[in-house]
Copies of this chain bind each other. A is one copy, B any other.
Amino acid sequence: MPKVTFYNLPAEKQQKLIAAAQSEFSSAPLAVASIANIVKAAGIPRGSFYQYFEDKEDLYLFLLEGMMKERKKRLEEILLNCNRNLFEAILEFYKQNLQEEENLSGFRRNVFLNMTDKAETTFSKILITENMGEAMQKIEALIDIGQLNVSNDEELIHLLKIVFAVTMRNQVEKFSKNLSNEESIANYTAELNLLKRGLVRPTQ
C-alpha cells in the first residue's frame, strides 16, 4: 500500500501517477511493466516514485484494490436488483464485466492472465469477507441464503469460494482463449447451472 507521502500529494499529482500506472499495467503484465515508463508518463523523477510506493508491485496491488472495491460495490447493487438471488446476480455481473472489458483498458486482462496469490487474495474480497460475525451479517443482507443449499456460515463461505473459483476460471479462459463474449457467457451459464443442480446424479 502507498506510503503516507503519496496520500499527502496534491490530488492532481496522485491522479496523474495512477493514470500513468494504469496505462503501463494495461500494456504489460506486472513482471514486464517498467517503472521507468510509469515515471516518465507521470512526469515525476524516478527517486520520487520510491517515496510514494515500496515498489512496482505495491503500486500494482493498490490499483487492483481500487478496482476490486469498485467491482464489489457494483456486485452489491446487482444483488439488490436481483432480489438477492446470488446466481442470477453473479451471471449479470459477469456479463457486465465482459461488456466493460470490451472498451476498457487491458489492465484486467493482464491481471487475470497473471494471477499471483497476492492478486487473488485482493480479488477474492469481491465475494468473500472471510472473518465471521459482522461481515457475515452483511453477506446475509445481500444474498438470500434461503435459496442456497447450505446450513451454516461455514458452508456459505465454501459456496462463495466455489462460485469465485468458477467465475475466475471462466474469466481467465475468456482472455486466454480469446473467446467471444457470447461463447464465454454460454460456458459460464452452463457451469453455473451444473453448480446449482449438483455434479452428482441424485440417487433415487
Contact = CB atoms under 8 A, between A and B. Distances in A.
Contacts of A13: none
Given A116-B113, A190-B154, A162 B197 contact: no
A196 B30 CA distance: 37
Interface in A160-180: 161-166, 168-169, 172-173, 175-176
A6 B146 CA distance: 59
B121 A117 contact: no
A161 B169 contact: yes
Interface in A171-204: 172-173, 175-176, 187, 190-191, 194-202
Most buried by B among A155, A194, A199: A199
Contacts of A116: 113-115
A149 interface: yes
A165 B163 contact: no
Contacts of A163: 199
- Chain A interface, DSSP helix/strand/loop, else mixed: helix
Interface residues of A, number: 44
A198 B201 contact: no
Interface of A: 30-31, 87, 112-117, 120-121, 146-150, 154-155, 158-159, 161-166, 168-169, 172-173, 175-176, 187, 190-191, 194-202
Sort A-B residue pairs by CB-CB distance and give the 4 closest, nearest first. Answer: A198-B198, A165-B169, A117-B176, A31-B31
10 contacts: A114-B117, A148-B201, A155-B190, A158-B190, A158-B191, A161-B169, A162-B195, A162-B199, A166-B166, A196-B198
